[in-house]
Amino acid sequence: MGTEVVVEGLTKKFGSSLIWKDVSLTIPAGEISVMLGPSGTGKSVFLKTLIGLLKPNEGHIWIQGVDIATCKEKDLYEIRKLFGVLFQDGAMFGSMNLYDNVAFPLREHTKKSESEIRQIVMDKMELVGLSGAEMKLPGEISGGMRKRAGLARALVLDPEILLIDEPDSGLDPVRTSYINQLFIDLNAQIDATFLIVTHDINTARTVPDNIGLLYHKHLAMFGPR
């Protein structure tokens, strides 16, 4: 069903430099939301704050009754298991083939057997259109394929919340629309809550149920597309 994320009065500074202030919104369960904003407005910082990699200076982030802005490290560790994250650069391990990259979270966080892992990895690779590329290294494939491999890896633990950072950066329009269509199809199939951050207006126009805009250090709007 996915999980809603409730953000209340969130403010983030680095030293004395304000990134954004008083951001409040509810990211609806199971829907696709896009946060749009020019480069440097703090979209990646926002995603990292949502998964607890960065601490906000003020505010709350409620997920299943836990405020991840203030909770203990131990609770944060549990809540993190609900997330799948596709980082801006794909964040693949360069020396591992795609199979091992996608299998990594399963080997790290579950006690599944290698044959169970194999089934899940092959299934997710197929879902993102990468069947047959399992043995390739990240350096041997295109940027679009790397993003899809990152997406497969973000999906292996069956996340309730999927965070996606600039799926369209570095991709040509054809590959951008391919991966955007993939998000729409995927959302219909798995029902997780999707949050995509991007500066691509076309993505914001075509993909989401809801759109937000980060602008001039605050959330200028958030609502149904």
Ligand X SMILES: Nc1ncnc2c1ncn2[C@@H]1O[C@H](COP(=O)(O)OP(=O)(O)OP(=O)(O)O)[C@@H](O)[C@H]1O
* Interface with Mg ion (CB under 5 A): 43-44
How far CA 89 is from CA of 11, 36, 181, in Å, comes to 25, 18, 20
Nearest approach in angstroms of CB 48 to ligand X is 8
Q: Check: CB of residue 193 under 8 Å from CB of residue 159.
A: no
Nearest approach in angstroms of CB 7 to ligand X is 15
> If binding is defined by CB under 6 A, does position 105 make contact with ligand X?
no
Nearest approach in angstroms of CB 69 to ligand X is 17
Among 23, 32, 45, 196, binds ligand X (CB under 6 A): 45
Q: Check: CB of residue 49 under 8 Å from CB of residue 55.
A: yes
Taking CB positions, which residue lies at the least distance from ligand X?
Answer: 44
Among 1, 16, 39, 174, binds ligand X (CB under 6 A): 39
> If binding is defined by CB under 6 A, does position 41 make contact with ligand X?
yes
**Residue 15: burial class (beta carbons within 10 Å; 0-12, 13-18, 19+):** exposed
How far CA 201 is from CA of 81, 89, 149, in Å, comes to 31, 20, 24
> If binding is defined by CB under 6 A, does position 16 make contact with ligand X?
no
Gap between the Cα atoms of 125 and 155, Å rounded: 10
Q: Check: CB of residue 93 under 8 Å from CB of residue 104.
A: yes
Nearest approach in angstroms of CB 54 to Mg ion is 13
Q: Using CB under 6 A as the criterion, which residues of the chain lie in contact with ligand X when the complex forms?
A: 14, 19, 37, 39-45, 88, 166, 199
